[in-house]
Amino acid sequence: MVVLNVDGIECRYGSVKVLENVGFSVKEGDFVGILGPNGSGKTTLLKSISRTLKPYRGTILLNEADIYSLKSVDVARQLAVVPQDSSIGFNFAALDVVLMGRNPHLSRFQMESSKDLDIAKKAMMLTNTWQFAERPINELSGGERQRVIIARALAQEPKILLLDEPLTHLDIINQLEIMDLVKSLCVNEKLIVLAVFHDLNLAARYCTSAIMLKKGKIFAAGSLEEVLTSENIKSVFDVDAIVKRHLVTNSLFVIPLSPQKAPPSRKCAIHLICGAGTGTAIMKALVDEGYSVTAGVLNVLDTDFETAQFLKIPVVSEAPFSPITEKAHKDNLAMIEKASTVVVTSVPFGFGNLQNLEAAVVALEQGIPTFVIDEVPIESRDFTKGKAKALLAELKSKGAVFVKDKTELLSLLSVSAEKLNVAKEEKARFLAHLKPEIQDKGESN
């Protein structure tokens, strides 16, 4: 069993310390993502493992042998590297470049055999580069050249593969094909892979574990669930992010949010009637615009509920997959009474959440301006035998404003908020003007 053990290494460039007390172990079949912001030491870590930069202190063991005590050829038979910079000094044919991966397996002055050619061809077929075999390497595009370099690494038949941002020049289809290939080698050939990623979602999709670096130290290490958390991403990258599990791939995925600015206060409370993920983008947009937002009734575990929790939006909640109870409905109405505006998203309606639409009718009857986002025809999301459609028609007849999308909603809300603020200011000035007169009358009496 091939085991790589990095034990408390410290790396420096001159007097500048780049890595400090970094240690971890990997075994056959592990696919480890190395994550972190620019300058955190990711590439330096790979350089130290590949014997390009000897650690100032600490050891790197390959099957219990210090990697720096081994011969270069012995290391090259077990470890291959795909660097950031895939430039080649001479304009070799692509096949010749891939055959260079066979050098560790050849004795001095030995020519490649038919076996070596077969291995090189197989590597090029796997990376979809065989059609470039006779093409000069420097005449290929950046993405084509990167795939040739990956083929060269595979031709080494390594036990450990180090990838330093391997997908930089690749389009999305080639990214997926290469990562699928590397993942299959991990699973079927027990290849060890350590890969530097900037794309957290690619790391989440393919890696079995991750190491997150911050300022040259390991901030978090372990399973993806342990490392890729909203708290860790915020601490290391200074970015707010929502981390969820994808329903199709079952892998984690990260939704980074734009940095929070200090928005002008709209002094307007908006209550959102949403669900099934239809309110997530709108919640974020309203918060960014400076509105005070509430939401309800939302089932716990619903995407919109989780978004509200993340954005610290007050919400009336109900148990997962449960219909709205009378108590939750009353709490929702109480929250609506405190709002200046109600917004209804294109949420699917069933008998379990139909009371949310009834609450919107009550809000409109109380004189609270109500907007309805009509992105998706009600016929395709009404599972109440027409009752939801009838309630939407009632909202429209009573003056609810129907909008086509989030952009139109925000535009109209901005106008409404300005009018509301002007009205409040005029009321305040009017009361301030009356106050002296009231005091004079009180004194004369």
The residues with which 295 forms a beta bridge, in sequence order, are 272, 315
Report residue 93 as tokens.
């044919």
Give me the long-range contacts of 62-67 (CB less than 8 A, separation at least 24): 62/2, 62/3, 62/4, 62/5, 62/160, 63/2, 63/3, 64/3, 64/5
The residues with which 348 forms a beta bridge, in sequence order, are none
Residue 76: C-alpha distances to residues 68, 73, 101, 126 (Å): 12, 5, 9, 21
Task: Report the candidate in 92, 100, 148, 158 with the shortest Cα–Cα distance to residue 124.
Answer: 148
Distance CA 200, CA 222 (A): 15
Distance CA 194, CA 144 (A): 22
> 90's torsion region: left (phi>0), alpha (psi -120 to 50) or beta?
beta
Report the pLDDT value the prediction gives residue 436, as an integer from 0 to 100.
53
Which residues, 6 or more positions from 10, have their beta carbon under 8 angstroms from its beta carbon? Answer: 17, 19, 20, 21, 22, 55, 56, 57, 58
Report the pLDDT value the prediction gives residue 358, as an integer from 0 to 100.
93
- pLDDT 10s digit of each residue in the chain, 445 long? 668 999 999 999 988 999 999 999 999 999 999 999 998 999 999 999 999 899 999 999 998 899 999 998 989 889 999 887 666 767 889 999 999 988 888 877 777 788 989 999 999 998 889 999 999 988 888 788 888 988 999 999 999 999 998 887 778 888 888 889 889 889 988 999 999 999 999 999 999 999 999 999 999 999 999 999 989 999 999 888 888 887 677 788 888 876 655 455 556 789 999 998 899 889 988 888 888 899 989 998 888 898 888 888 999 998 888 899 999 999 999 999 999 899 999 999 999 999 999 999 999 999 899 999 988 889 989 999 999 999 999 999 988 999 888 888 888 887 665 554 444 455 455 445 555 554 554 555 4
Q: Are 269 and 292 in contact (CB under 8 A)?
A: yes
Q: Are 45 and 125 in contact (CB under 8 A)?
A: no
DSSP 43-85: HHHHHHHTTSS--SEEEEEETTEETTTS-HHHHHTTEEEE-S-
What is the fold, at CATH topology level, of the domain defined by 3-256?
Answer: Rossmann fold (3.40.50)
Residue with tokens 């734009």: 258
**How do 370-373 and 401-403 pair as beta strands?**
parallel
- Domain segments of the chain: what residues? 3-256, 269-410
| Overall pTM > 0.75 | no
CATH H-level, domain 269-410: superfamily: Ribokinase (3.40.1190.20)
DSSP 99-119: HGGGGGGS-TTPPP-HHHHHH
First to last CA, the chain: 100
Distance CA 100, CA 85 (A): 17
What Rg do the C-alpha atoms of the chain give, in angstroms?
31
The residues with which 317 forms a beta bridge, in sequence order, are 298
Q: Are 82 and 179 in contact (CB under 8 A)?
A: no
Report the pLDDT value the prediction gives residue 422, as an integer from 0 to 100.
45
Residue 289: C-alpha distances to residues 283, 328, 417 (Å): 10, 28, 11
Task: Report the candidate in 302, 304, 322, 325 with the shortest Cα–Cα distance to residue 313.
Answer: 304
Residue type, 41: G
The residues with which 27 forms a beta bridge, in sequence order, are 3
Largest separation between any pair of C-alpha atoms in the chain: 117
* Residue 355: half-sphere exposure toward Cβ, Cα within 13 Å: 18
Residue 349 CA, chain-centre distance (Å), reads 29
CB burial of 373-386 (b: ≥16 within 10 Å; e: otherwise) equals: bbeeebeebbebee
Report the pLDDT value the prediction gives residue 423, as an integer from 0 to 100.
43
Residue 409: C-alpha distances to residues 261, 277, 293, 371, 375 (Å): 21, 17, 14, 8, 11
